[in-house]
Amino acid sequence: MSNWTMITGASGGIGADFAEIFASSGNNLVLVARSTSKLDELAAVLKKQYQVEIICISKDLSKASSAQELVEEIAAQNISVHTLVNNAGVGLAGSFYENDAKRLESMIHLNMTSLTILCRAFIPDMISRGSGGILNVASTAAFQAGPYMSVYYASKAYVLNFTEGLAYELKDTPICVSCLCPGPTKTHFFNSDDLKSTHLKALPWMMSSKKVAAIGYHGLKNNKIIVIPGLVNWLMAKSTSITPRFILRSITGKLNS
């Protein structure tokens, strides 16, 4: 049986780098994102270089019915997903009460709800098959509150805690469950108008998306539940357990404003 890896948010950044890594390891790919043209371009390159099968699905996972629609499309094509990479996510900066309510709702659905639905859909088949992997992408934002990006930080805390709980529930199965928690990364994430005002994109220790993806991939393969790429990011995440939370809120609030 061919191994199929499904990657959401695959049109660029960490998602596209994950696609290349899994393709280079001989995995067939289901690439999911909103941009059909970017997915098709990436697929053409990877097919030629690695001779794998690739299916591109244009889907906006911030919409309420989208995750279930994706599950049904995969089933209709008789694809058994061996590894699920929940990479799709979005941020929104600014005062919570000034953010557009509909956009907040879309972010919550993308960052948390769709991720959860996809895990629930594919895990039973992984268990019955006796193999599989789940890689959920959170952030170092998961380890503290984030004034001026409060909902984004909270959504990533959900991803981290959900993944840890899931890993424990599946510890006696052959399924690997991992949560990748990168710090600020050199991607188009900070190029949007919603995030240009933050100071996060100027941090000197930002890692490349290719390196982050490689670390995340190896963490999953080694069945590591929490993966924090980079020493500085690891130290900052760990420091949240000893630094008073009022200090963390102040520092993060200044970075996000």
Q: The domain that contains 12 carries what CATH number?
A: 3.40.50.720
pLDDT at 8 over 70: yes
Find the domain containing 144 and state its range.
4-256
pLDDT in tens, 97-138: 999 999 999 999 999 999 999 999 999 999 999 999 999 999
Nearest to 14 by CA among 185, 241, 203: 185
Question: Virtual CA dihedral for 42, 189, 139, 23, nearest 10 degrees?
Answer: 10
Nearest to 46 by CA among 67, 30, 70: 30
Q: 48-52, 198-202, 209-213: lowest mean pLDDT where?
A: 198-202
DSSP state of 206: P
pLDDT in tens, 66-100: 999 999 999 999 999 999 999 999 999 999 999 99
Mean pLDDT, the chain, rounded, equals 92
User: Kind and range of the H or E element at 73?
Assistant: helix 66-76
The pLDDT of 167-179, averaged and rounded, is 97
pLDDT at 50 over 80: yes
Q: Which residue would you say has higher pLDDT here, 256 or 204?
A: 256
One-letter amino acid of 7: I
pLDDT at 236: 86
**Cα–Cα dist 70/137, whole Å:** 19
pLDDT at 197: 52
- Count of domains in the chain? 1
The pLDDT of 163-182, averaged and rounded, is 97
Nearest to 178 by CA among 246, 226, 210, 213: 226
Asked if 233 and 140 count as a contact pair (C-beta separation under 8 A), the reply is: yes
